[in-house]
Amino acid sequence: MLQRVNPGHKALADYRSIIRRELYEELQELAGRLRGVRVLHVNATSFGGGVAEILYTLVPLARDAGLEVEWAIMFGAEPFFNVTKRFHNALQGADYELTIEDRAIYEEYNRRTARALAESGEEWDIVFIHDPQPALVREFSGGLGEGTRWIWRCHIDTSTPNRQVLDYLWPYIVDYDAQVYTMREYTPPGVELPGLTLIPPAIDPLSPKNMALSRDDAGYIVSQFGVDTERPFLLQVSRFDPWKDPLGVIDVYRMVREEVPEVQLVLVGSMAHDDPEGWDYWYKTVNYAGGDPDIFLFSNLTNVGAIEVNAFQSLADVVIQKSIREGFGLVVSEALWKARPVVASRVGGIPMQITSGGGILIDTIPEAAAACAKLLSDPDFAREMGRRGKEHVRANFLTPRLLRDELRLFAKLLG
Ligand code: UDP
């Protein structure tokens, strides 16, 4: 039996005043057509990272729309996560030699997951598989029922993949009825994509992480972590991972400090269960910070949960996202939704989120530092930037739009 996640309850009606009327009406219409459709989401973890974050909102909202939606976690253990981490990095371009042992471990957990699904006897209209970890579940389960439609959702950038991993996985992925990518630029070169569908992710404006917090409440929370709320602080919220470049963020902070000596830096990073490298990188970052009392490192293990992330994001003077590679980068929309000025790398889905003056795109550490210093010295400029960013997110990156896109896809696949 696969572990099921209970994502709680949410009501679409609560979003009505936040989104456009046409979107709300289209959702009602799609919900009417898809009532009772049975959907199973499968991914690798219920905690940490963007995929879990999205499912915690999408699953209850789709249920509220009348679909019968479940979310299951595939089987996994450290050896498997070590392999899938290597796959993940390889698909994002890292060097890696695909070994028979790694394939065997990968297939074993996919096979066990597929067997559990098939043996449960449950029937699904849609099985929605997230990312490479469970990508072989379709193959090993024999596709389940006749009428089951299979969707593979890729949350990462596979535009310059390690060929060995791609050539190994792709024959299985092509068999899905739809391959969903955030943007066309992330798809691998030279492969067949018979069911390519482009759907960017989104954030939940009403979740504890993104709901409106007063400045006083946010300040009260932030000050309890020892950050001086009378002085400015830069923030990056990200897993401790080389692709997120926390060391680069420290370099940016050090350059900004030369111009703004009172500045502080807060790095918040959750430690995901499927990310064994996280700890190495955490210690590397702690060492790099070198005991600077104005650099704060927090994680879910130091009690920084959703509300605390919200408080840090709501109060930060500048939010940085210095990623080297990025899937979509949900944290960028999270910060923009709080009307914060964001300085972020021109990679992955970030440029899609930072357009028309709502944030600053950078390519280098000195550029990032200059952008931060400018924002710290010009509050009017920073305020206007935050306002524009928020409106861009409202129009494009809130969960009701994501739900609409997925319901459209279900309706198309089910005919
Ligand atoms: N996150 C969090 N606590 C942390 C670090 C990250 O809750 O300490 C959340 C963050 O707010 C965001 C998600 O994890 O919602 C990360 O998603 P993103 O797309 O930015 O990056 P990913 O980790 O999926 O590469």
Q: How many CA atoms within 13 Å lie on the side-chain side of 352? A: 20
Residues in the chain: 415
Indicate whether residue 309 lines ligand 1 (CB < 6 A): yes
Question: How close is the Cα of 209 to the center of ligand 1, in Å?
Answer: 11
DSSP-assigned states of every residue in 357-398: TSSEEESSHHHHHHHHHHHHH-HHHHHHHHHHHHHHHHHHSB
The reply to whether ligand 1 has any atom less than 6 angstroms from the CB of 50 is yes
**β-pair partners for 52:** none
Residue 91's nearest CA partner among 185, 148, 156 is 156
Q: What is the pLDDT at residue 272?
A: 64
The answer to whether 246 touches 285, Cβ cutoff 8 Å, is: yes
pLDDT at site 202: 95
Calculate how far, in angstroms, residue 114's C-alpha sits from the geometric centre of ligand 1. 28
- Cβ contact 50:155 at 8 Å: yes
Residue nearest to atom 6 of ligand 1 (CA): 238
Q: ∠343-344-348 over CA atoms, to 5°?
A: 160
For residues 103 and 84, is the Cβ–Cβ distance under 8 A?
no
Contact 64 CB / ligand 1 (< 6 Å): no
pLDDT for 334 equals 97
Tens digit of pLDDT per residue, the chain (415 long)? 899 999 999 999 999 999 999 999 999 999 999 999 999 999 999 987 779 989 999 999 999 999 999 999 999 999 999 999 999 999 989 999 999 999 999 999 999 999 999 999 999 999 999 999 999 999 999 888 889 999 999 998 899 999 999 999 999 999 999 999 999 999 999 998 999 999 999 999 999 999 999 999 999 999 999 999 999 999 999 988 898 999 999 999 999 999 999 999 999 997 766 666 778 889 999 999 999 999 999 988 888 999 999 999 999 999 999 999 888 899 999 999 999 999 999 998 999 999 988 999 999 999 999 999 999 999 999 999 999 999 999 999 999 999 999 999 999 999 9
Q: Residue 169's pLDDT is what?
A: 97
Does the Cβ of 80 fall within 6 Å of ligand 1? no
Measured in degrees and rounded to the nearest 5, phi and psi for residue 378 equal -135, 80
Interface predicted TM-score of the whole assembly (ipTM), two decimals: 0.97
59 Cβ closer than 6 Å to some ligand 1 atom? no
Regarding the beta carbon of 319 and ligand 1, being less than 6 Å apart is answered no
How confident is the model at residue 274, as a pLDDT?
Answer: 63
Judged by DSSP in three states, 316 sits in coil
- Give me ligand 1 centre to Cα 414, in Å: 32
- What confidence score (pLDDT) does residue 273 get? 62
Distances in Å between the alpha carbon of 246 and those of 50, 249, 361?
18, 5, 17
Collapse the DSSP code of 297 into the 3-class scheme (helix H, G, I; strand E, B; otherwise coil) and give the result: strand
What's the confidence (pLDDT) of residue 366? 98
Residue 408, CA distances (Å) to 33, 34, 316 in order: 10, 10, 37
Q: Which two tokens stand for residue 377?
A: 């010295």
Q: Indicate whether residue 282 lines ligand 1 (CB < 6 A).
A: no
